């Protein structure tokens, strides 16, 4: 369990190179984008103006790759938040199980109803702990899969950009003119959508 947490943490640290310091849109920025002529409550995303403003250096294929990278990164960020919550709950549940075990051990000296109640309480808390640990492992597995998917998309984008630049590493994507702005245009939308 601790190994999987350490692995996920190190993977996230490596992958966060291209997304350092995202700028979340302010309410003033969103005020203009939240109206539409068609009467819908939400404008269609991405907008032509947004694409021209933030992603104009890129072709359609490149923009769609950047959009997918941003969507996956937003999901990873949200998953990390949930992961931390589950990890915290797991830690608390471990303490509860430990206290229940200690209570159970002290009641072993006096058999009877109290011992049976303590055993039932232990079993209940142990099942909760196992469920939390299972959820934690599932989150780690899903996050690892998404991180791998993000890396593959970045490789595809780098290959697609190879005609314009001589990049060999996804850590250099931030140096491509317009990439950071285009990435954050999509990332900010998806992170807000997931909130």
55: exposed, middle or buried (Cβ count in 10 Å: 0-12, 13-18, 19+): buried
- Please write the tens of the pLDDT for every residue from 19-49: 444 443 433 344 444 444 444 566 688 999 9
Query: What is the Cα 50 distance to its own chain's centre?
Result: 24
Q: Higher confidence at residue 126 or residue 16?
A: 126
Longest dimension (CA), the chain: 79
Band (173; pLDDT cuts 50, 70, 90): confident
Joined tokens for residue 157: 């984008």
Q: Higher confidence at residue 180 or residue 32?
A: 180
10: exposed, middle or buried (Cβ count in 10 Å: 0-12, 13-18, 19+): exposed
Out of 19-23, 97-101, 129-133, 150-154, pick the least confident.
19-23
Domain boundaries, the chain: 60-195
CA-nearest of 18, 16, 22, 19 to 188 is: 22
Compute the mean pLDDT over every residue in the chain, rounded to the nearest whole number: 78
101: exposed, middle or buried (Cβ count in 10 Å: 0-12, 13-18, 19+): middle
Q: Higher confidence at residue 131 or residue 117?
A: 131
Q: DSSP letters of 25-50?
A: PPHHHHHHHT--TT--SS--SS-HHH
């Amino acid at each position: 369990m601790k190994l999987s947490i350490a692995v996920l943490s190190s993977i996230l640290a490596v992958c966060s190179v291209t997304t350092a310091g995202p700028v979340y849109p302010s309410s003033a920025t969103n005020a203009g984008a939240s109206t539409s002529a068609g009467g819908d409550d939400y404008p269609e995303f991405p907008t032509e103006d947004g694409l021209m403003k933030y992603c104009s250096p890129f072709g359609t294929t490149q923009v769609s790759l950047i959009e997918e990278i941003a969507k996956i990164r937003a999901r990873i960020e949200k998953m990390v938040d949930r992961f931390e919550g589950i990890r915290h709950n797991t830690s608390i549940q471990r303490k509860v199980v430990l206290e229940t075990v200690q209570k159970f051990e002290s009641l072993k000296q006096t058999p009877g109803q109290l011992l049976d109640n303590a055993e039932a309480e232990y079993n209940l808390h142990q099942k909760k702990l196992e469920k939390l640990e299972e959820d934690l492992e599932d989150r780690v597995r899903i996050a690892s899969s998404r991180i791998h998917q993000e890396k593959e998309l970045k490789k595809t984008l780098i290959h697609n950009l190879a005609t314009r630049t001589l990049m060999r590493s996804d850590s250099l994507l931030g140096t491509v003119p317009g990439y950071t702005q285009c990435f954050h245009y999509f990332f900010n939308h998806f992170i807000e959508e997931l909130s």
